[in-house]
Amino acid sequence: MTADEQPTAPILHVDMDAFYAAVAQRDRPELAEVPMWVGGAERGVVLSANYRARAFGVRGGMSVVAARRLCPQGVGVPGDFGSYTEASSEVREILQTFSAKVQMASIDEAYLELPSGPRAVPPAEVGARIRAIIFDELKLTCSVGIGPNRLVAKMAANAAKPDGLREVDADEVIGFLHPLPVEALVGVGESAATKLHRLGVVTIGDLAQLSAVDLRRAFGPHAGLSLRALAWGQSWSAEFHQPGTRGVGCQITGYRDLASVDELHAVLLRVVTKVASRMRAADVLGRRITVGLRYADFTSGSASATLAMPTDVSQELYLAARQVCTRLRGGRLGVRRVGLRVTELSDRSRVAVQPRLDEPDHGWADLDRAGDRLIERFGRGKVQRAVLTRRDGVVGSEIPDRSLDWR
């Protein structure tokens, strides 16, 4: 590397596993025990199939009639795009905890440009944290690929499926790509693969060695050279246009409107607890909080406040958020959605938090850490604040299940 060259920031690709089918299985657990696909109408198209159905050859994009022929015992369910959109938004919120440069490629795929530098968390560790949080909070699995550009990151995620992680360093790209079948290359569809097979191309390495003349003749001057570049791991631009603000957020929509201050504060505490947990998992502290409320008549409002010191302590965030919430609603109730977003994030290792003179040796921060360890060992829901254990239909869940009260 010359003095003028700078190492590129690693790109992380998150690809949700069988997304539509996985959301359906999460909300109806009995579906996980049978081959199933989303796309219930007999004249429709399969949107996604679980891995039991895929074992019979059922794939997204095929007709439901063809799926039924391959797997007569399979169960088809209609799509629920409200649930998919909500789950996708939750995934995006989790990803924005780790990078301001997040781009959703589709409802179930996203690219992140990770921070780089000597103090940056290793990319594989970031990927592992993301996978753990998505599974813990959303009960969904994803595959993560890490590479020097978008192409390699996506190919690595494909290689990691299902429910895995694969990192490919810059000096490993050729060794990773070239043994793969040419059909595995992003950008090579069925028609292109057929033409390449006629030219004797079996692997991506074969494509990389194919002459420019043959490629131009088969695909034209532009598409042919583009395919060759992809075979050498040369990706489309990894620039993230108009990156957003890095932040940690969560919101809960209720199954009924919140009619009392106690109910509202209980749901706000659940939101804060979730946000603070994500912050600690990402090793970040935040200084600015924004509370958002949506009311029964679908009007919305938000208000913000800046803390004196950055924090990830649940109780500190909750007390500040409650003050903002009181100021925001102005005595109004009938709230159907509560949200919180924490911004102005700093890496924990770069912040020196000054303790107060009257601060006890052990306090809320220690309680949070102890709770995190117990949750990691026993699972979320096993350890929580007493107010969050109420069963009167008040405290809600981020995962919509209309058969249940808020939990």
Distances (CA, A) of 90 to 12, 138, 159, 287, 400: 18, 8, 25, 22, 12
Q: Which stretch of DSSP H or E encloses residue 96?
A: none
User: Rounded to whole angstroms, how far apart are CA atoms 126 and 282?
Assistant: 8
User: How is residue 97 annotated by DSSP?
Assistant: T
Q: Which among 86, 90, 93, 109 is annotated as catalytic?
A: 109
Residue 94's identity, in one-letter code, is I
Q: Is 171 annotated as a binding residue?
A: no
CB neighbours of residue 378 within 10 Å? 10
Q: Is 108 annotated as a binding residue?
A: yes
Count the residues in the chain: 407
**Helices first, then strands: H and E counts in the chain:** 14, 12
Tokens of 149: 């550009």
Query: Residues 140, 151: contact at Cβ < 8 Å?
Result: no
Query: Known catalytic residue: 263?
Result: no
How many Å separate Cα 191 from the centre of its chain?
32
User: Rounded to whole angstroms, how far apart are CA atoms 288 and 308?
Assistant: 9
Binding residues: 15, 108
- Active site (catalytic) residues: 109
Binding residues for Mg(2+): 15, 108
